[in-house]
Amino acid sequence: MGIQEQYRNEAAELLSSGAVKLVIGYGEGSTSDRRRPVFIRSADETARLVLDANCIANLSGYLVPEGLLSDGKSVAVFLKPDGIRSVNILAAEAQVNPDQVVILGFDIDGGQASPLPGRKATDFAPLIESQKSTGLSTELQQEADQLELMSATDRFEYWNQQFSKCIKCYACRQVCPMCYCRRCIVDVNQPQWVNTSSHTLGNFEWNIVRAFHLAGRCVACGGCDRACPVNIPLRLINHRMSKEALDAFDHFAGESADQKPVLATFRQDDPETFIL
Amino acid sequence: MTRILLHTRLDDCLAAWRASGYSVLAPSKSHELTRFNEVQHASDMALDLVLPERTIKDHFFPQTEPLIRYRIKKHEIDTEEMVPPELKRIFFGVRPCDASGLAIDDPLFGWDYKDEYWFRRRGNSVIVTIACTSADDFCMCTSVQLSPDSTKGSDVMLTPLKDGRGWQVLALTDRGNALLETIPSILQESDAEPAPPASVPVKFDIDKVTAWLADPASFESHFWKEISQRCIGCASCTFLCPTCHCFDIQDEGDTYSGIRRKNWDSCSFAMFTMHTSGHNPRNTQSTRWRQRIMHKFNYYRGKFDVNSCSGCGRCTRQCPVDMGITETLQSISNLPR
Ligand code: SF4
Ligand code: SF4
Ligand code: SF4
C-alpha cells in the first residue's frame, strides 16, 4: 500500500471514529505538479487527499486561526519534519495545545514521500534531535557564504536591490506559521510604529522587523521564500538568523514544546551584561 | 502587403526612439525578477516570456506615490503638490492582457474625478503590444472576453511573423501612428505571414458567472466560505494584478512636516475597510474574497460595463496556496442551477 492510500485510510478512520473533527492535508492543484491545502471533514471526502513529493507546503499555520481548537476537539494535519517543529514552537508559545494535534507525518526524499512513525509531536523528538545534530542546511549555507564573501558595501547594495523589489504584499508573513500575531506590528496604526509605504526604506523596516521576529523561530520550511512574488531570497535572511541562534545559544527552533523562545529568555550565566 | 519590423532592426528602432526623446521600457530580468525596466538594447529585452512577473500597471500607478509635501506652521499649513513628471515613454513588448488592464482602469481613474497622477503618465506613454503566440496553463484571457491578440489598450500592435524574423506592425491610435512616423525607414513592406495566435482554452462561462453574481441570493451563499477556506489573506494576487487599483492615503512624517502618500491597498488584508470604531463590514477572509470577485465581475461591470480582469492569470500563477480567480469562477460556473 502506498503512503497516499495508507494516509487516506488513516484519515478516514480518524474522522469516522470521531478522534478528530478535521483533517488538514493536500489535494490536487491547478497544474499537475501543484498541491493545495484541503480541509477534510468526513470520511467519504478522504479520496481528495493527495500525498506525494509535491506536498511541500508547511500546513501548521492552519492550526492557529481563532476558534479552531477552542472546542477541545482534535485536528489531524499532514506535516513534514519542518512542520512538526513549528507545531512545537506554536505549543511552546501557547498558540496550540499539542494534545489536540494528530500529526500525519511524512518526509520527502529522493522524489518520494515516505511515512514517519508517530502521531504526537513528542513522538518525533528523536528525529528532530538527529536533525539538530546534522546542523542547518548545507545548501543554504553555501548560498549564504557567497554573501559573506562580499564587502559590507556590496552586501548592503545587494539587499538594497532585493528589498527595493518588495511590494509589502505580506505573503511572507501570511504564509508563515510563526507569524500568527492577530495584529502585526506593521498593521498597528495608533500609533503608526512602522510606515505602511512600500518604498525602499519602508521595505527595509518591514523585512528587518520580520527577520528579528523570526530569529530562533524559523524552521526553514521555505514557505515565505516560495510565496514572495518578487523573488527576494528570504531564505538567506532566516538562515542567517537561525545560524546565529544555533551558534550562540545552541538553539534549534522547534526542538520540543518546552523549548524557551530564544529572544524571550535570559540565562543567569549569560556573558553579556546588556540585554536588548 | 503590411509593414513589418525585423528583429535585426530593433536596435535601430530603439536608437531612433531615443533620438525622438522617448525612453523605452520592456520586459527584462533584473535582480531575479522579470518586470518592465528601461532598456538600451534589444538584447536587454526578454520578449519570449509568456508574461513578466510584474505588470506595467506599476509604471502608471506605483505601489507608493508622494502626493503632497506639507509643513504645519503656527497659523497655517504650507503644502506643495508633487506631480509626476510628464515622461515620453514607450512600453515595448506589452502583452495584450496587460495593455487591456490599462484600458480597463482608465474609466475608474477618470470617472467622478480625473486622477492626474494616472493620466499624466498615461498621456505620454505609448503602448506597443506583442500578440501572444504561446500561453501557459494559467492564461485565461479568452475566458474574460479578451484574446491573445486583443488590441484593447494598445497603441501599436505587433504580430509575430510565422518565419520568426520579426513582427507585422499595425498602428491603432494617433499616438501609435505618431510613433511609427519616427521610424519610417526602419519598417518595410512585406507579405510575410503572421504566426497564429496562442490557443488559450476557455475555462469558464463568464455569462453564467456574472448572472450568478448579480443574483442577490448569491451574496450570502455558503459557496464563499468553502472556496476561500485556504486563503491566507496576503496581497500577492491583488498587487500583481494589472487591474486592481485600491489605494490608501497615508501621511508619513512627524508632527510638523511630512509627505502625504498614495499607497496600494488590498481587499485581502484584514485591515481593509476596518472602521475607526473597530467594526469591519468584511471581517472574515471569505467576505473579503467575495468582495474581490464581486468587485471585478459584478460591481465594476455594472458601473463601467467591463470586467475588472484581463485574464493574465497572475493571481493563480503566484498564489502561495494555489487559489485565484480561475478556480473560483470555474466553480461558480459549475454550480448546480
Ligand atoms: S512576500 Fe516578498 S514582496 Fe511580499 S511583503 Fe514579503 S518580502 Fe515583500
Ligand atoms: S520564516 Fe519562512 S521559512 Fe521560516 S518558518 Fe516562516 S515561512 Fe517558514
Ligand atoms: S484578477 Fe487575476 S487573472 Fe484577472 S487580471 Fe487580475 S491577476 Fe490577472
pLDDT tens figures, A156-176? 999 999 999 999 999 999 999
Residue B62 has what pLDDT? 97
Query: Are residues A21 and A66 part of one domain?
Result: yes
Asked if A168 and A115 sit in the same domain, the reply is no
pLDDT for the residue A1: 79
pLDDT band at A267 (very low <50, low <70, confident <90, very high): confident
Compute the average pLDDT of residues A10-18.
98
The residue with greater pLDDT, B303 or A266, is B303
Instruction: Provide the domain count of chain A.
Output: 2
pLDDT value, residue A213:
95
Do A23 and A85 lie in one domain? The reply is yes
Could you tell me the residue range of the domain that residue A9 belongs to?
Answer: 3-124
pLDDT band at A270 (very low <50, low <70, confident <90, very high): confident
In angstroms, the separation between the Cα of residue B317 and the nearest Cα of chain A is 9
| pLDDT exceeds 90 at position B293 | yes
User: Counting Cβ atoms within 10 Å, is residue B48 exposed (0-12), middle (13-18) or buried (19+)?
Assistant: exposed
Q: Is the pLDDT of residue A273 over 80?
A: no
How crowded is the C-beta side of A227, counted as CA atoms within 13 Å? 29
Choose among A169, A197, A230: nearest Cβ to B252: A197
DSSP element (H, E) containing A224 = helix A223-227
- Among A124, A157, A188, which residue terminates a domain? A124
Same-domain status, A117 and A193:
no
Task: Give the residue from A99, A124, A149 where a domain finishes.
Answer: A124
With a pLDDT cut of 70, the percent of chain B lying above it is 100
Mean pLDDT on B233-240: 98
In a domain, residue A259? The reply is yes
| Cβ–Cβ < 8 Å for B97, B240 | no
Q: Are residues A147 and A259 located together in one domain of the fold? A: yes
Q: What is the DSSP letter of B194?
A: B
Restricting to A residues 150-209, those with a Cβ less than 8 Å away from any Cβ of B are 161-162, 165, 167-171, 173-175, 187, 195-199, 202
Mutate to test the pocket of ligand 1, among A159, A209, A228 (most ligand atoms within 8 A of CB): A228
At position A57, the amino acid (one-letter code) is A
pLDDT of B119-171, one tens digit each?
999 999 999 999 999 999 999 999 999 999 999 999 999 999 999 999 999 99
Q: Judge whether residue A276 has pLDDT over 70.
A: no
Q: Is residue A263 helix, strand or coil?
A: helix
A145 and A259 in a single domain? The answer is yes
Q: Shortest Cα distance from B280 to chain A (angstroms)?
A: 14
Report how far apart the first and last C-alpha atoms of chain A are (Å, whole number). Answer: 54
Cβ neighbours for A171, distance < 8 A, ≥ 6 positions apart: A224, A227, A228, A229, B232, B234, B235, B236, B320
pLDDT in tens, B243-258: 999 999 999 998 899 9
Cell of A190: 495608533
Mean pLDDT across B252-278? 94
Q: What is the pLDDT of residue A265?
A: 85
Whether this model's ipTM surpasses 0.85 comes out as yes
Average pLDDT score, chain B: 96
pLDDT of residue A16: 98
Do A17 and A117 fall within a single domain? yes
Does A115 share its domain with A197? no
Confidence at residue B24, expressed as pLDDT on a 0 to 100 scale = 98
- Cα Rg for chain A, rounded, in angstroms? 20
- In chain B, DSSP finds a helix count (H) and a strand count (E) of 11, 12
Distance between CA atoms of residues A131 and A144, nearest Å: 20
The arithmetic mean of pLDDT across residues B181-208, rounded, is 97
* Same domain, residue pair A145 and A31: no
Question: Using 50, 70 and 90 to split pLDDT, how confident is the model at A268?
Answer: confident
Sorting pLDDT into bands at 50, 70 and 90, what band is A195? confident
State the average pLDDT for chain A: 95
Integer Cα distance of B158 and B301 in angstroms? 29
Query: Is the CB of residue B160 less than 8 Å from the CB of residue B132?
Result: no
| Tally of structural domains, chain B | 1
A275 falls in which pLDDT band (50, 70, 90)?
low
Q: What is the mean pLDDT of residues A51-56?
A: 98
pLDDT digits (tens, 9 = 90+) for B55-69: 999 999 999 999 999
Residues of B in contact with A170 (CB under 8 A): 234-235, 269
Closest ligand to the CA of A80: 2
- The end-to-end CA distance of chain B, in Å, is 51
Residue B303 DSSP code: H
Q: Are residues A39 and A102 in the same domain?
A: yes
Looking at the complex, does the CB of residue B254 fall below 8 Å from at least one CB of chain A? no
| A132: contact with B, CB 8 A cutoff | no
Q: Is there a single domain that holds both residue A99 and residue A214?
A: no
Residue keyed to cell 557564504: A145
Would the pTM count as exceeding 0.90? yes
Range of the domain at B120: 2-333
Task: State the CB neighbour count (10 A cutoff) for residue B302.
Answer: 11
pLDDT at A47 (0 to 100): 98
Please give the average per-residue pLDDT across B304-314, as a whole number: 98
Residue A117 and residue A146 in one domain: no
Q: Does A226 touch chain B (CB under 8 A)?
A: yes
The mean per-residue pLDDT over the stretch B231-245 comes to 98
- The predicted model gives B86-96 an average pLDDT of 96
Half-sphere exposure of B167 (CA within 13 A, CB side): 24
